[in-house]
Amino acid sequence: MSQKTEKLIDKKGLRLDGRKPDELRPIKIEVGILSNADGSAYIEHGKNKILAAVFGPKELHPKHLALPDRMVLRCRYHMAPFSVQERKSPAPSRREIELSKVIREALEPSIFLEYYPRTGIDVFVEVLQADGGTRCASITAASLALADAGIPMRDLVVACAAGKVDDTIVLDLMDTEDKIGTADVPAALMPNLNAITLLQMDGILTSEEFEKALNLTLEGCRKIYTMQKEALKAKYVSVKEVEE
């Protein structure tokens, strides 16, 4: 019995979890929660629970990895064995290696790498619980961790995915929708510069559908950006007081 006959959108136009097609899952973000890391952030996006930490800038060891004129950004995306339905081996999978690369490439353009040559920044992302859209939530959290570490940046990076489910373009796919749906388009955005730093797609879309999905995910990104900003400021607003 093929799962493909299961309907993902009901007669009222609502999805399996009751959301409308253009609705985001609930998001909760906290910045600066790890005491050892130079910067950190924690995000809950739907059932995703993801921790991001930043160490650096610091001298790179081994030294030959360092670049003479800029910082090197290293990124490790990793899923905890208990994060998915069937226990995942702790060894890095090919998917984790690819995601580590695309997440790094999504964050790099936002950092002023030229400021501190010969140093390195390590970004570690641990997915504690996964439910679709982990790479996007990881980028959103990692970008906050970078800002929390005082790394000079052009902009924050925020990410979101849209896709196609039952002939409808929807925003923010959860795991079931991702597996059974017909397309998934994750994208990362520097919102103030309107610059897309991550873009992938798997599935099939006509060019019109793709344009719709792209616009929807960028809209989703901007909505999440408001929450990202708030989470970052929340850590410092209590420090700063209106006085003088």
Partner 1 sequence: MASVITRVKQKQIVQLIAKGKRLDGRGLMDYREIKVEQGIIERAEGSARVLLGRTEVMVGIKIEIGQPFPDTPNEGVLTVNAELVPLASSTFEPGPPDENSIEIARVVDRGIRESKAIDLEKLCIEPGKKVFVVFVDVYVLNHDGNLIDASALATLAALLNTKMFNYEIDEGEVKIKSGHTPLPMRRHPITVTFAKINDKLVVDPWLEEEQVMDTRLSMAIDDDGNICAIQKGGSGYFAPEEVLEVAKIAREKAEEMHKKIEL
Partner 2 sequence: MPTSFERRQLVIPGDLIAEGEYIAGENAYAEGNKIYASRIGMVEYENKKVTVVALRAFYIPRVGDMVIGTIVEVGFNGWIVNINAPYEALLRASDVLSRPFKPQKDELSQVLEIGDLVVAKIVAYDRAHNPQLAVDEPGLGKITRGQIVKITPTKIPRLIGRKGSMISMIKQETGCQIILGLNGVILITGKNLEDEELAIMAIHKVEEESHTSGLTDRVAQMLKEEKAKREEIKNESEN
Residues that bind partner 1 (CB under 8 A): 2-3, 94-95, 97-98, 100-102, 105, 108-109, 179, 185, 190, 193-207, 210-211, 214-215, 218
Least distance to partner 2, CB of residue 103, Å: 18
Helices of type H across 17-81 = none
57 binds, among partner 2, partner 1, none (CB under 5 to 8 A by kind): partner 2
User: What is the Cα–Cα distance from 112 to 119, expressed in whole angstroms?
Assistant: 12
User: What is the Cα–Cα distance from 198 to 161, expressed in whole angstroms?
Assistant: 11
DSSP state of 146: H
191 binds, among partner 2, partner 1, none (CB under 5 to 8 A by kind): partner 2
123 binds, among partner 1, partner 2, none (CB under 5 to 8 A by kind): none
By C-beta, is 40 or 143 nearer to partner 1? 143
Give the contacts of 62 (CB within 8 A, at least 6 positions apart). none
By C-beta, is 69 or 208 nearer to partner 2? 69
Taking the alpha carbons at both ends of the chain, their separation in whole angstroms is 70
Total Cβ atoms within 10 A of residue 62: 6
User: What is the Cα–Cα distance from 57 to 42, expressed in whole angstroms?
Assistant: 21
Q: Which residues bind partner 2 (CB under 8 A)?
A: 38-39, 56-59, 68, 110, 112, 116-119, 147-150, 152-156, 190-193, 229, 232-233, 236-237, 239-241, 243-244
234 binds, among partner 2, partner 1, none (CB under 5 to 8 A by kind): none
Least distance to partner 1, CB of residue 222, Å: 12
- Length of the chain in residues, anyone? 244
Burial of 61 (0-12, 13-18, 19+ CB in 10 A): exposed
Pairing, β 72-79 against β 119-129: parallel
Least distance to partner 1, CB of residue 206, Å: 5
29 binds, among partner 2, partner 1, none (CB under 5 to 8 A by kind): none
